[in-house]
Structure 1
């Protein structure tokens, strides 16, 4: 198994203040080691002043309650909490002030056995593993700050370096990678595929480039042989971009094949509701 990376960051991911002002969050790897304590989960949520941060619909004051529900007993509650991640904290694949601390919390709870519980996946799908869905959410968040995303943003006059939420996500990529890489060999196939997908996105970080070679076998053997063509295409794209051999991997056989709304999107996010494309009214 690939070993997690560590980080010696001394700054909070949102505002650059000294980590001692926030008790948790700046050194996620050490925090993960003690996350079997409910008090630690609460600390991860209370260390952030959520009411001062925004999401798609305004203040994120309700975020601690909604994020805590990711570990709820009831599957319906867990599913709604997961939708909150996608459609409020990362609405339309946009990054908000509250996205980075939410990502740290999501990364931190991944080792909790309760994340192996199921959530609703879609109208025509069986329930899926919460941990896999959380990893796909991390992948979607990381996708918003990749080198490719930066090129597109600059082309439209909006460099990511000028957008604080993007800067915050970029700053915590080593922590997110450390959490995700632990599952690239997971015995649950969807979880392993989701972890590799997240790692691919995160490995654009200059501090993490040296981990690419270790991920290549998993990209070829797991992601490249996935039943989902989106994952296979992602494997081919990653290998080609990294200068690795993608020979033998098969992508989408019919590029014009219609994919219904219950299949994962290209960036690994939750299936999109058919109601105008979103599960909630857009914030405009």
Structure 2
């Protein structure tokens, strides 16, 4: 094994991070007797040699050695090597016909994989089911004789004892049919035969229904989803002999909350944990059902019915994955999701903490439409009490925290005791801070705790994460004047220690208080000439909001309008719009923004021009707004909010407003449910007023 490995001039090639001289060591590491060394080698191989699915010359040069590793039964983790081969081969075959620079080598890798395609036939019949699972997708992609590929897949289905492997075989047949249209009729007939064969297990029949829909989505009938639901129900009711019962899909051991590593913001740690969590699959049918949902696309009512059955399955892993699929539907597609929200909320009481935690997390993520779950969230929070915020069991803790956050996002005061407990204990306090600003009615209780946290911020640290900013944002949202001394002190400290991010956050918070924040003006005025690009416009905006002196602020706004950063122009336009008609002297400069190359500058400029100039500017302003909306749909929620303020003058925009509501996909910035729901409400309000 590895004969000729060092005959290759690896140092003359490069991977994603530089010289490929380390590749021989990675290949040797994949065969190491040490598990951790193998894991590190595989992770490095994916990140550097097969970076984000790219195939480069050193990737191709590695293939013969990877085939040797995968073919030797003495190699540990053979399935992982086969999976790597299939990943490289899939990328190579899919991209080999396209023209690329010499830096990549899809064509070379595709040739190697196709030459050795028969190896995958052997892997797909391996004694190790993990190797079979890894190899089966390659049967649809690498065999040049596609008729033989179809025959191999049919034979494999008959011989395969494992449910997960059978699902992969049917999936591979659909991939083959999509790759080679001449095989489509035969594949569709095979799917029909499988779906109708009552002697087959329900999982295989379900796979046939799903893959037939995948190959011909235009042929999905009113009976397709009900048939799939019946098969899911049959699978859920099937009796599995004890000896064949699969191991639990997951288990979570109790852990105590841990502080993040030094210098790493807890939000960053949590984000990576969430990515890892979402990458897990807990049931063999998950990939199949996700494929079905992708195929059904905007058929919201059918997908909701399908999810209702998925959420009723006895298997906790299947339910957990179904909860995540529910979030994917609600985040991507418009429609009436009230029943799905309620079905997800029923899992807050699941005996499996991870299922309950995922349900709570989805409700928090979809809080903008989570009103039907309000009482279920409150009941869950009350049942465990504020101390559950710091529960020793990691998933029980997560379930409570996410439920509190979802309830808090709804502005429900029943979240307050747990938020206060979080602020008092300091355990994951940042999670509570993020929702504290929505609990306006409890401002008098929350502000002292938030200010105490703010006073403990060490402004000498160069990396503060978003901790201080989040605290300032919450205090600004609550607008309790008792917070003003702490915010002003924070601004002073941030300026002294050159903490630009905290300075900007403090300026924005102070601006929400208006004239009540006048004691801060002495500190704010010098910042209107700050060198930091973000601090300067924030200082000018705060100066106007607090001081209200038009003569003082107009020259400063004029300077921002001529500045290079686009956000100077948009911020200045917004402040001038707040000033209104008395800012008429700025109209010539604002009109220049209407020809800016950046759509957001044109939009903010147009809004200011109309607000100051009045109805005489309506025609050109509407042209700018509607053109920007057509070119960049992500501007829609902002534009619709302004059209709503325009009143009767917005009537020429009615066709585009109506057209927006015909779109089935969510269509707002940052894939935000909240923004999209606001966009739809704004459209309905405009139509109701003008129709």
Q: TM-score range by the shorter chain?
A: 0.5 to 0.7
Superposition pairs of residues 142-161 of structure 1, within 5 angstroms: 142-147=89-94, 149=95, 159=99
Displacement after TM superposition at 1:84 (Å): 2.2
- With 80-89 and 242-251 compared, the bigger mean Cα shift is at 242-251
CA distance in 1, matches of 2:122, 2:166: 24
Structure 2 counterparts to residues 1-284 of structure 1, below 5 A: 40-41=1-2, 43-115=3-75, 117=76, 130-147=77-94, 149=95, 159=99, 164-203=104-143, 206=144, 208-209=145-146, 211-218=148-155, 220-221=157-158, 226-227=163-164, 231=168, 234-241=171-178, 242-243=183-184, 244=187, 245-247=190-192, 248=195, 249-251=205-207, 260-263=278-281
Q: What is the deviation of 1:164?
A: 4.8
Q: Distance in 2 between matches of 1:98 and 1:179?
A: 21
Structure 1 gaps of 5+ residues are 1-39, 118-129, 267-284
As a proportion of its length, which structure holds more helix? 2
Query: 1:263 & 1:223 partners in 2: Cα distance?
Result: 22
Query: Whole-Å Cα distance in 2 between the matches of residues 50 and 141 of structure 1?
Result: 19
SS, match of residue 164 in structure 2: coil
For the Cα contact (< 8 Å) 1:136–1:194, is it kept in 2?
yes
Deviation at 1:232, TM superposition (A): 6.2
Gaps (5+ residues) in structure 2?
196-204, 211-227, 230-276, 288-691
Cα separation, 1, equivalents of 2:162 and 2:66: 27
Q: Is the 8 A contact 1:184 1:192 kept in 2?
A: yes
Q: Is the 8 A contact 1:180 1:195 kept in 2?
A: yes
Of residues 223-232 and 245-254 in structure 1, the stretch that sits farther from structure 2 once superposed is 223-232
Change over 3 Å in CA distance of 1:222–1:134 after alignment to 2: farther
Alignment CA distance shift 1:232-1:217 (3 Å): closer
Separation (CA, whole Å) in 2 of partners of 1:91 and 1:221: 37
Counterpart Cα distance in 1 of 2:127 and 2:84: 20
Q: How many corresponding residue pairs? A: 200
From the superposition, tell whether residues 98 and 183 of structure 1 become closer, same or farther in structure 2 (CA, over 3 Å): same
**In 1, are the aligned partners of 2:153 and 2:173 still within 8 Å (CA)?**
no
Equivalent position of 1:6 in the other structure: none
Residue 113 of structure 1 aligns to a residue whose secondary structure is coil
Separation in structure 1 between the aligned mates of residue 87 and residue 65 of structure 2, nearest angstrom: 15
CA 1:162 to 1:187, structure 2 compared with 1: closer, same or farther past 3 Å? same
The answer on whether the counterparts of 2:132 and 2:165 sit within 8 Å (CA) in structure 1 is no
CA-atom RMSD, angstroms?
A: 3.5
CA separation of 1:176 and 1:163: change in aligned 2, threshold 3 A: farther
Cα distance change of structure 1 residues 82 and 106 upon mapping to structure 2, 3 Å threshold = same
| Structure 1 residues 118-144: Cα deviation after superposition (integer angstroms, max 9, x where no partner) | xxxxxxxxxxxx111111111111111
Q: Give the 3 Å change call, closer, same or farther, for CA 185–262 of structure 1 in structure 2.
A: same
TM-score by length of 1: 0.59
Encode CA deviations 1:161-218: one digit per residue, 9 max, x unaligned.
9775112112212343233222221122121121222232212xx4x44531342225
Cα distance per residue 1:50-106 (max 9 Å; x no partner): 111111111100111111111111111111122122221111111112111112210
- What displacement does 1:238 show? 2.6
Q: Distance in 2 between matches of 1:219 and 1:150?
A: 28
Q: Sort the Cα spacing of 1:181 and 1:209 in 2 relative to 1 into closer, same or farther, 3 A.
A: same
Asked whether the equivalents of residues 142 and 169 of structure 1 are also in contact (C-alpha less than 8 Å), the reply is yes
Cα gap change, 1:82/1:47 in structure 2, threshold over 3 Å: closer, same or farther? same
- Encode CA deviations 1:14-61: one digit per residue, 9 max, x unaligned: xxxxxxxxxxxxxxxxxxxxxxxxxx42x2311321111111111100
Q: Deviations over 1:143-171 (max 9, x none)?
A: 11335x467xx5xxxx3697751121122
Question: RCO (CA 8 Å, sep 6+): is it higher in 1 or 2?
Answer: 1
Task: Name which one, 1 or 2, has greater alpha-carbon Rg.
Answer: 2
User: C-alpha separation between the residues in 1 aligned to 2:162 and 2:45?
Assistant: 28
Q: Distance in 1 between matches of 2:142 and 2:157?
A: 18
Distance in 2 (CA, whole Å) between partners of 1:228 and 1:139 is: 15
